[in-house]
Structure 1
Amino acid sequence: MDPKILNDHSYDLTKKSDIYSLAALFWQLTSCRPPFEILVWRFALLTVKAFQSRCDRIFLVLYQRCWEFEPDDRPDISE
């Protein structure tokens, strides 16, 4: 779920919200770990070193971009 909606319940979910969720799915597929094993996504980035042997660096950078709090800072689906 897009974290923006947690701060503002009137926030309209967009395609960029889907990008955030897609990154959660990709995280699970490539790391072989549930996306919510760590309580807060931002802190999940601290575990990146543990997954570097499992995930290609390119994917990690993409996940980090997809997890941006501000939807406009997330990539489009074409990326």
Structure 2
Amino acid sequence: IDLSGWSPKYFPPQLVKAANSKLRGKELFGSDFPVIQVDRWMTDFAVLDIKPEVRPLILKDNALTALGIKA
């Protein structure tokens, strides 16, 4: 799931719950820049109820995995 195109403050509770569980390895950061500025997206994302261990997956690690890049 590419999370671009909408601000995290509009993510439905079901999406946040799934991000913390069954979709933890399937969601990717996306800001939809220039429509949504990256700093705004990150500020809105920071207040979501996302588990600390899931945040780096969404922001970086899942993209590296999808692209086959070893960190």
Indicate whether the TM-score tops 0.5: no
Larger radius of gyration, structure 1 or 2? 1
**TM-score normalised according to structure 1 size:** 0.32
**TM-score normalised according to structure 2 size:** 0.34
